[in-house]
Amino acid sequence: MDAIGLVSLSKPPMESMKQWVYRSLRQAIMTGRFPPGLPVTIQGIAEMLQVSAMPVREALHRLVADGALEHLDNRRVRVPDIDPEKFDEIIAARIALETVAAERALPSIDYLRFARLQQLDDEIDVAYKAGNIEQGIEANFAFHRCLYEVRSSAVLLPLIESVWLRLGPFMREATENLDESYRVDRHAQALEAIVAKDVTALKAAITADIEDGAGHLGRKRFLDVESRQLAARK
């Protein structure tokens, strides 16, 4: 647990302790601070956040219900690993939800929103070039959220974020070989499609962005499993 180096988010004065703990842990999972399979304890997290065990216990229960964590026993939880078939299903769900959200958002994107998207895209590049994987992952999700929230904040965005939460622990692994998997700047293609008001091109860019990133990792994991199965038969 000490290897995670959990960093909590700032707590607004009006936010309850249990909501702050939940939000901090949720953000940590989504940005890859909790690798798949690593057990964590209530006491360990409480010490890192410098809070009592109660809000941590409640936050972990919520995250288990969200599908982001699984119980090992009454004191420990972990990020579940995902088999290739389930991983592929999550990628398909992400593509389906995000292309709909992008299509709904396109007519409402003004120049201020577009400028923010450009800024976030620049922040992603700077973070990855500096080797700051977590900041890059966070900025990447912020880019997508900034695009979709224009029209899809009530229903679609919470559904999308629940999928991101399940993928978060794998995003660090997905970004380890960006030069190999991400040879085309899909965000640049999305920005070009927004300028052209081309919904087909925008949906294609979002789909390719997901497939080149987390989708590439899913294919790699499938091949790794298949290779191990073939080796076991020999």
List the domain boundaries for the chain.
2-78, 84-224
How many residues are present in the chain?
234
pLDDT of 111 strictly over 60: yes
193, containing H or E segment: helix 186-196
Mean pLDDT of the chain: 85
pLDDT of 27 strictly over 80: yes
Give the residue-averaged pLDDT of 186-213: 95
Tell me, what's the pLDDT at 224?
Answer: 54
Tell me, what's the pLDDT at 76?
Answer: 85
Distance CA 181, CA 164 (A): 19
- Of 48-52, 86-90, 218-222, minimum mean pLDDT range: 218-222
**Band of residue 30 on the pLDDT scale cut at 50, 70, 90:** confident
pLDDT of 123 strictly over 90: yes
Give the residue-averaged pLDDT of 12-39: 88
Give buried/exposed letters for 62-89 (b at 16+ CB in 10 A, else e).
bbeeeebbeeeeeeebbbbebebeebbe
**Band of residue 2 on the pLDDT scale cut at 50, 70, 90:** very low
Supply φ then ψ for residue 129, to 5 degrees.
-65, -30
Tell me, what's the pLDDT at 7?
Answer: 58
CATH of 84-224, one of 1.20.120.530, 3.30.1540.20, 1.20.120.420, 3.30.1360.120: 1.20.120.530
- Which CATH code for domain 2-78? 1.10.10.10
Percentage helix, strand, coil for the chain under 3-state DSSP, each rounded to 5: 70, 5, 25
Grouping H, G, I as helix, E, B as strand and the rest as coil, residue 52 is: coil
Give the residue from 81, 6, 83 showing the smallest Cα distance to 41.
6
Tell me, what's the pLDDT at 231?
Answer: 52
Tell me, what's the pLDDT at 216?
Answer: 59
